[in-house]
Each structure stands twice: as C-alpha cells, then as structure tokens.
Amino acid sequence: MIRVTASPNIAFIKYWGKRESTSDETRNIGLNTSVSMTLSHAQTKVQIEKLNGGMAHQIFVDKNPASPADRAKIETHIKRIERHFETEYPLGSGLLKIESENNFPSSAGIASSASAFAALTIGICAAIIGKERTRDLMENNSALLSMLARRGSGSASRSVCGGFMKWDGEHAESLASKWNLLDTIVILSRKAKSISSSDGHALALTSPHFNERLEDLPSRTSALLAAIDARDIHTLGALLETEALEMHQIAETSSPPVHYLGSESRRLIAAIQALRERQFYFTIDAGPNLHFISEKPIVADLERVLAGLNLQAEIWQDGLGTGPSLE
Ligand code: PMV
C-alpha cells in the first residue's frame, strides 16, 4: 500500500495565462514566473494499491467513483508517468486502485487540483519505480516531480515541496525561507466557479492589460522575493494585494469577461483596505474567497470586520507547510 499526502499552495504571484503548447511535455507552462506558499492543514490524501486482476484502474475521489472527467485526467497522468520511466520500467505501474480524498471543503477557494496532482504524481511514481527511489526524488530531484505534476495541473508544480516555491518554465523550485506565515481563508461562498481556471488562462491573453502585466511582473516578483527574505510583512502584503487585484482585473477585462469576485468579496476587500495599521493582507485565487496572510493569528480581527459588514463566512486556518509525505 502506498500512502501520500500533499497540501495545496496559495499563489503570491499568480500563474494566469499559459504558453501555447503543442505537446504533453510543454503543457501548462506559465507565461510568467509565479511564487507560492505551500499550506499545511489542507491536505489531499492519496492511497494506491496494485490490483491483481481486472480490466481497468479503479479510481475513487472523495469516496465516490471518479467522474468521467476526473478519471480521464488521472488515467492520462498514469500514462505520462509510465512513459517517462518506460526505458527503465517497461511494465509501468500495472492496474491500480487509487483513492483520493481531501480533508478540506471543496469549492472553498483552496486549489484542490494542486494538492491532488502533487500527491498523485508521488504515488504513481512510487507504484512504478518504488517507494525508496521516489523518496530519493523527493529529497534530491523535486524538479522532476514538479515537472511531472505540472503536466497534470499547472499549480501542482508548486505543491511537490513545502515552504515557498518559485515556478519558472518547466518546474518549480524551493526557496530557502522558512518564514512561518499564516493563511486564514474566509470562505464567503462554496459555489463552484462558472469558468474553470483552464478557460481563465486562455482568456487572460485577450485582456488589453495582459502585456503590460507581463512587463511589470519581473520587478514585482523580485520585490516580493526580497520581502520574503527580509520577512517584511508590510511590503509583502502591499505586493500581494496589488497582484491579486491585477489578476482579477485581467479576468474582468478579458473577452468575454470573467467575474470571480462577488459583491460580498468586494465589500470585504473595501472594509479591509479602509483599516489602519493592518497586520494582515489579502490575496485571492480564481474564486470569491479571500486568503489573509499574516505573521500572527487574526481570526478575531476578521470576525469583527465580518460582523460589521453583516457577512456570514466560514474560516479555515492554515499556514506554512513542510511538504508531501510518502509512506
Ligand atoms: O493550476 P490551475 O490551472 O488550476 O491554475 C491556477 C490559477 C490560480 O490559482 C488562479 C493562480 C495560481 O498561480 O495558483
């Protein structure tokens, strides 16, 4: 039995818009460098067992047989990892029983595809090349795992290690910082987004602001990396908010436009921006829910703001994680 856990990551500099690709090897490569923090408490657990007989892989997601779309993505992922190792291991993985489960609420603005494809990549590698060699890759060649995970889901490239990750081109790499930041997630809505992030990536290039964004990003990214190194929460926070709002501006000016933020998200953003001497700063992925990054716990502060706005929300407390595990 192979057991893997991996956590999602929250992007500080977003992957939004990908390079054109003509092969599986070049799938899901961002047009810009992105930077993220791997979380700790939110986790995907993947359990993999080799089947003795049968005609097909058995695949379960959150205890139910996988939907046809999820099944197709996971089967493709098994094939691409088999292909990668086929000279050494021509028999591949054989038929597998794969069970994948998240411990966090779905559609909560926590990217489940990142943790799922990071965990699946490690688990499928272990089924093909063995646990020992896979552990060696986790310690000494996370770039290879990152590259394989990326082909399953772009942001998964940044969930194969803990801490902070920088993804540029084919794979992501770990940053040295161990700054113990918290990510407090305010879940305003659990409705699944109407436009998937894959469609969002394609539409991003139609925004009249997209090229200007690409030109501005290298200096924003260097400043953000320097703020992480210096543990400067205020500089980091200002950059996080500019970046998140810009990603949403790109989405909203794409043709057709994509609106991920609801009126409640906007009210919360405005109320937070009006606060003085803040110790916490927001970022937002492709959805209506807000992530607050801070050095100290801020749940009580957020509850006060939410009560003042008469907003109902669930809060998920997370923070810097140490990366995937394989048993
Ligand atoms: O990996 P994807 O295709 O789900 O894209 C993720 C896009 C964002 O979450 C919005 C940003 C990011 O960098 O994670």
pLDDT tens per residue, range 233-251? 999 999 999 999 999 999 9
pLDDT number for residue 105: 78
Q: Is 109 a residue whose pLDDT tops 80? A: no
| pLDDT of res. 194 | 80
State which ligand 1 atom lies nearest to the alpha carbon of 247. Answer: 10
Residue 270 has pLDDT above 90, yes or no: yes
198 lines ligand 1 (CB under 6 A): yes
Instruction: Report how far ligand 1's centroid is from the alpha carbon of 155 (Å).
Output: 5
**Which atom belonging to ligand 1 lies closest to the Cα atom of 156?**
1
DSSP annotation of 165 reads E
45-54, 118-127, 183-192: range with lowest mean pLDDT: 183-192
What b/e readout covers 111-148, taking b as 16+ CB neighbours within 10 angstroms?
A: bbbbbbbbbbbbbbbbbbbebebbeebbeeebbbbbbb
What torsion do the CA atoms of 56, 62, 64, 67 make, to the nearest 10 degrees? Answer: -70
First to last CA, the chain: 8
* Cβ-based neighbour number of residue 291 at 10 Å: 25
Looking at residue 288, what is its pLDDT? 94
pLDDT tens-digit map of 17-41: 999 999 999 999 999 999 999 999 9
Pocket of ligand 1 contains residue 134 by CB under 6 Å: no
When mean pLDDT is compared across 6-15, 101-110, 191-200, 277-286, the lowest value belongs to 101-110
| Mean pLDDT calculated for residue range 64-85 | 97
- The percentage of the chain sitting over the pLDDT mark of 70, rounded to a whole number, equals 100
Q: Which pLDDT does position 326 carry in this prediction?
A: 98
Check residue 181 and give its pLDDT. Answer: 98
Query: Hey, what's the torsion of the CAs at 219, 225, 227, 229, to 10 degrees?
Result: -150
Closest CA to 195 of 254, 268, 115, 117: 254
How would residue 151 be classed by pLDDT, with cut points 50, 70 and 90?
Answer: very high
Amino acid type, 177: S
Asked if residue 219 has pLDDT above 80, the reply is yes
**Measuring CA to CA, which residue among 152, 154, 171 is closest to residue 75?**
152
> Mutation test of ligand 1: which of 9, 14, 36 has the most ligand atoms closer than 8 Å to its C-beta?
14
Does residue 106 surpass a pLDDT of 80?
no
Residue 88 to residue 96: CA distance in whole angstroms: 19
For ligand 1, whether the C-beta of 112 sits within 6 Å is: no
Report the 10 Å Cβ neighbour count for 178: 10
Q: Would the pLDDT of 193 be above 90?
A: no
Q: Is the CB of 18 under 6 A from ligand 1?
A: no
Sign of the torsion formed by the C-alpha atoms of 229, 234, 235 and 238: positive
Question: Ligand 1 pocket, 11 CB below 6 A?
Answer: yes
Indicate if ligand 1 lies below 6 Å from the C-beta of 15: yes
Taking CB atoms within 8 Å and a gap of at least 24, the contacts of 69-74 are: 73/152, 74/98, 74/100, 74/120
Does the predicted model carry a pTM greater than 0.85?
yes
Residue 35 alpha carbon to ligand 1 centre in Å: 11
- Reduce the DSSP state of residue 9 to 3 states and report it: strand
Cα angle value 122/124/126 (rounded, 5°): 70
Number of H helices, E strands in the chain: 9, 14
What lies within 8 Å, CB to CB, of 170 at 6+ separation is: 29, 143, 147, 150
Q: Across the chain, what does the average pLDDT equal? A: 96
CA distance 220 to 34: 11
Q: Name the band, by pLDDT with cuts 50, 70 and 90, for residue 190.
A: confident
Average pLDDT over residues 189-194: 83
Over 80: is that where the pLDDT of 107 sits?
no
91 pLDDT more than 90: yes
